[in-house]
Structure 1
Amino acid sequence: MSNLEMIEAAAERLQGHARWTPLLSSPFLDEIAGRRVLVKAECLQHTGSFKFRGGWSAVSALSAETRARGVIAFSSGNHAQGVALAARQHHAPAVIIMPSDAPRMKIDNTRALGAEVVLYDRATEDRDAIGDRIGIERGLTLIKPFDEPQVIAGQGTTGLEIARQAAEEGVTHSDVLVCCGGGGLTSGIALALEGRAPGLRARPVEPQGFDDVVRSLASGGIERNNGMSGSVCDAILTPEPGRITFPILKRLCGPGLVVSDDEAVRAVALAFARLKIVVEPGGAVALAAALFHADQIEGDAVIVVVTGGNVDAGVFRDALARFGG
């Protein structure tokens, strides 16, 4: 199980490799939200998302012999790129299993980072089974996107940075809204905040129709989504919370929030107009919750983790055309 000690060790290994991303703000966003909004811009991380942290943490934790045999991962794109870059920087082979309907830019970028890409149909095929088969056949080490202690530890380094940055901003009690798929980032941040900033509370945010974590927290047991497609927030569509992540989420997180696709896309446009950052819809759901569901948040300030910026040009153009910031 991941813990604060593992997160701090991951931070040591990441030093000089991951970016310390800024905490951004805009009076225009504050006005919409009715409170101070501080945005942790992980869209500015290497490969365009926080996933590089977990990828580097997991690859760097392997023995030299194991790493030389290679790694395998499955992802709709952000974890894929994070693991691919980490593997390349460690001179290790990488195979990445990606859904065939993933954004073309994410598929192309993963290949450009030197990984072998294997595509599958997420509506009819089981990515876990595919990963297990190829991993065994080739002797590769599987790096899961969220239900992996070293990945959670790497993502948790985001929480260490938030704790320090919030203190510098004079924020000691606040909700920390996190875009959530399987819960790796949310659980890692929650663990880091428990140890470093207990007045800050992690809360997962998901798209409507794919709110398995929100429902699981409400019921106390793991709930599964009915489908795996049908939302523009492709980066955070997962079947259910992880077996490792959910107990952490259940113990440490506040209630989850749910936003519509339109709200996520509007947040993409506002992030560009007011913060001058490029965000993908799945990486903008936490910002959407802060802006459009303020009645579900308490306090004078809210911290938002914008998790990824790997958006297809067409989706981005549509966001700007529809909402214009």
Structure 2
Amino acid sequence: MRRMDSVAAEQRIRPHVRETPLAHSRALSDATGARVYLKLEHLQETGAFKLRGAANKLLSLPREEAARGLVTASSGNHALAVATMAGKLGFPVEIFVSEQLHPVKRSRIQSLGARLRVVAGDPLQAELEARREADDSRRPYISPYNDPTVIEGQGTLAVEVLRQLPSEAGALGAVFVTTGGGGLIGGIGLYLKRASPATRIVGCWPENAPALYECLRAGKVIDVPERPTYSTSTAGGVEPGAITLDICRQVIDHTVLVSEAEILAAARRVRRDDGQRLEGAAGVAVAAFLKTAADYAGQSVVLVLCGGNADPAFADLVLQE
């Protein structure tokens, strides 16, 4: 596998992807004794970090190849990102989604001009069917995470963080990253292990849907039973042969699992104290930090708020505090 270069990727995607703010959270800092910064990825054009990887991948494809049409699969945020970038670049795209995807997200994806294919089963089943269709039709498949160019694009978030971190913050002690298929934490980790090797990379999962966590424990991709979670955008299994398994084994220093109650409480807290409206997945990283905050007193930490495309039911629960 080639060496990933998130610095070059950041230059490539810059005309299409926002540099999202890195905001100091006075409330979380005062409550925990750490210097807490929030990376506001939910303010991306598509409402989540996924635009980074999608942009890097599509801009790296030969135009004649992409013009044949793209195929992807997603639990929502990756689909929005690929459809958005494909629309900007003039490429047709077919997106496979699980039947579990909320109708609001389905409608939003279709409004971007993508052809939608709804698949019975979970998000992993949609991924597997999408890859088969791409192979059969000889069209490029844009994986949500199992692709070095996508991972390289996600790593541009860490390039921004190191540039944005104020001098008074000192060294970056840790970054908390909600983890699904491992593309985001893989990209962040690969960059930071070179650029800021003392920074600890913390993988954060919901207890109800810890697929990659259990795969890492097993040392291989396995089927992991899941229960319903507020972190819908990270739910689902890991594709067999996923490169993120080895990457995450190399870069993740600590892991934290959080309950559904902790996810909801974290999202409510950030809305109340910092004015940020999050999807459940973003609440996972905040909850993981709060659960382990005593370990980071006196240090600077970054919590990646990975997305804000909340399902209506979760958004209502957050407001019912």
TM-score (normalizing by structure 2)? 0.92
Q: CA deviation at 1:97?
A: 0.8
> C-alpha distance in 1, partners of 2:123/2:67?
33
Structure 2, unmatched stretches of 5+, are none
CA deviations 1:165-220 (Å, max 9, x no partner) are: 23545331411000100100001001111222222222110000322333444x36
Q: CA deviation at 1:253?
A: 1.6
Q: CA deviation at 1:31?
A: 3.2
Partner of 2:247: 248
Map 1:192-211 onto structure 2 (within 5 A).
192-211=191-210
User: Counterpart of 2:169 in 1: which secondary structure?
Assistant: coil
Q: Percent identity?
A: 30
Partner of 1:147: 146
> C-alpha distance in 2, partners of 1:280/1:232?
8
Aligned pair in 2 of structure 1 residues 124, 65: CA closer, same or farther (>3 Å)? closer
> C-alpha distance in 1, partners of 2:243/2:122?
24
> C-alpha distance in 1, partners of 2:206/2:127?
23
> C-alpha distance in 1, partners of 2:303/2:223?
24
Contact 1:95–1:116 (CA<8 Å) still a contact in 2? Answer: yes
Map 1:48-127 onto structure 2 (within 5 A).
48-123=47-122, 126-127=125-126
CA deviations 1:250-299 (Å, max 9, x no partner) are: 11221211111111111111221122222100122001111233245565
CA deviations 1:109-166 (Å, max 9, x no partner) are: 1111111111112249822331133223443211010010110011010011112223
User: Counterpart of 1:226 in 2: which secondary structure?
Assistant: coil
Aligned pair in 2 of structure 1 residues 298, 149: CA closer, same or farther (>3 Å)? farther
Contact 1:213–1:256 (CA<8 Å) still a contact in 2? Answer: no
Partner of 1:133: 132
Partner of 2:230: 232
After TM superposition, the runs of 4+ consecutive aligned structure 1 residues lying more than 6 A away are none
> C-alpha distance in 2, partners of 1:173/1:124?
34
Partner of 1:286: 285
Partner of 1:156: 155
Partner of 1:179: 178
> C-alpha distance in 1, partners of 2:168/2:223?
38
User: Counterpart of 1:251 in 2: which secondary structure?
Assistant: helix
Aligned pair in 2 of structure 1 residues 301, 124: CA closer, same or farther (>3 Å)? closer
Aligned pair in 2 of structure 1 residues 74, 198: CA closer, same or farther (>3 Å)? same
Q: CA deviation at 1:320?
A: 2.0
What is the identity, as a one-letter code, of the residue corresponding to 1:236?
T
TM-score (normalizing by structure 1)? 0.91
> C-alpha distance in 2, partners of 1:21/1:257?
25
> C-alpha distance in 2, partners of 1:97/1:215?
25
> C-alpha distance in 1, partners of 2:31/2:212?
26
Moved more, 60-69 or 112-121: 112-121
Structure 1, unmatched stretches of 5+, are none
> C-alpha distance in 1, partners of 2:151/2:50?
10
Q: How many residues are treated as equivalent by the alignment?
A: 320
What is the identity, as a one-letter code, of the residue corresponding to 2:237?
P
Aligned pair in 2 of structure 1 residues 33, 292: CA closer, same or farther (>3 Å)? farther
> C-alpha distance in 2, partners of 1:314/1:206?
20
User: Counterpart of 1:238 in 2: which secondary structure?
Assistant: coil
What is the identity, as a one-letter code, of the residue corresponding to 1:56?
A
Contact 1:49–1:309 (CA<8 Å) still a contact in 2? Answer: yes
Contact 2:24–2:38 (CA<8 Å) still a contact in 1? Answer: yes
> C-alpha distance in 1, partners of 2:54/2:145?
10
Contact 2:73–2:97 (CA<8 Å) still a contact in 1? Answer: yes
